Amino acid sequence: MNISASRRGFLRGIAGAAALGASGCFSIGRGRNGKIRLAAVGVMGKGYSDWTPMIKTGLAEMVAFCDADYSMREKAQMALIRDGIDLDMYEIPFYTDYRKLLDDAGILGIDAMTISTPDHAHAAIAIGAMKQGIHVYVQKPLVRTLWENKYFETTARENNVIVQMGNQGSSLNSMRRCTEVIQSGILGDVKEVHVWTNRPVWPQGKNVADWVKSHPKGDKIRPGLNWDAWLGTAKNRPFLDQYPENADVYDPWKLGKNVYHTFTWRGFFDFGAGAFGDMACHTMNLAFRGLELGAVSDAICTKIVSENDIAYPLKSVVKLTYKERDSKIRPGVKLPAVTLYWYDGNEKPDAGIMPKWAATHNGKVPNTGCYIIGSKGAVLMQDDYGAKCAIALNDDKEFVDIFSHEAAKVVARSIPFCSSSSGEVAGGKSTVEMKGFAEGHYGEFLLAIRGEGHYYEQTHSRCFSDIEYCIPQMEGILVGCVAQQLPGKMLKWNSCAQKFDLDAANNLVKPYIRSGWGF
Per-residue confidence (pLDDT) for residue 438, from 0 to 100: 60
Q: What does residue 371 show for φ and ψ, rounded to 5 degrees? A: -120, 120
In degrees, rounded to 5, the angle at the alpha carbon of residue 367 between the alpha carbons of residues 46 and 314 is 70
Sign of CA dihedral 244, 249, 253, 255: negative
- The pLDDT tens digits for 407-417 are 999 999 999 99
Position 5 pLDDT exceeds 90: no
- Which pLDDT score, from 0 to 100, does residue 437 have? 52
**CA distance linking residue 65 with residue 164, whole number of Å:** 19
Mean pLDDT, the chain, whole residue set = 91
DSSP secondary-structure letter at 134? -
Decide if domain 167-416+467-519 falls under CATH 3.30.360.10. yes
Residue of 335, 333, 322 lying closest to 295 (CA atoms): 322
Residue 9 backbone phi and psi in degrees, to 5: -60, 145
In angstroms, the CA 236 to CA 133 distance is: 30
d(CA 291, CA 473): 12
Domain 6-166 in CATH 3.40.50.720? The answer is yes
pTM above 0.85, yes or no: yes
Dist. CA 342–CA 213, nearest whole Å: 29
Reference 411, options 224, 218, 213, 181; nearest CA is 181
Q: What mean pLDDT is predicted for residues 90-118?
A: 98
Cα angle 327-330-335, degrees, rounded to a multiple of 5 = 35
Neighbours of 1 (CB within 10 A): 11
Q: Are residues 324 and 256 in contact, defined by beta-carbon separation less than 8 angstroms?
A: no
SS3 assignment, position 445: helix
Q: What is the rounded distance in angstroms from the CA atom of residue 156 to the CA atom of residue 470?
A: 12
- Residue 154: asked if its preceding bond is cis (omega within 30°), the reply is no
pLDDT digits (tens, 9 = 90+) for 11-37: 333 333 433 433 333 333 344 578 999
Q: Which residues pair with 297 in a beta bridge?
A: none
DSSP run (H or E) holding 483: helix 467-485
Provide the edge-to-edge strand list for the sheet that holds 400-401: 400-401, 389-393, 377-381, 369-374, 190-196, 338-344, 315-322, 296-305, 491-494, 499-500
- Give the residues across from 491 on adjacent strands: 299
Q: Which amino acid is at 13?
A: G
* pLDDT score, position 16: 36
> What residue ranges do the domains of the chain occupy?
6-166, 167-416+467-519
pLDDT digits over 174-201, tens only? 999 999 999 999 999 999 999 999 999 9
**26 or 264: which leads in pLDDT:** 264
The 3-class SS string of 132-151 reads CCCEEEECCCCCCCHHHHHH
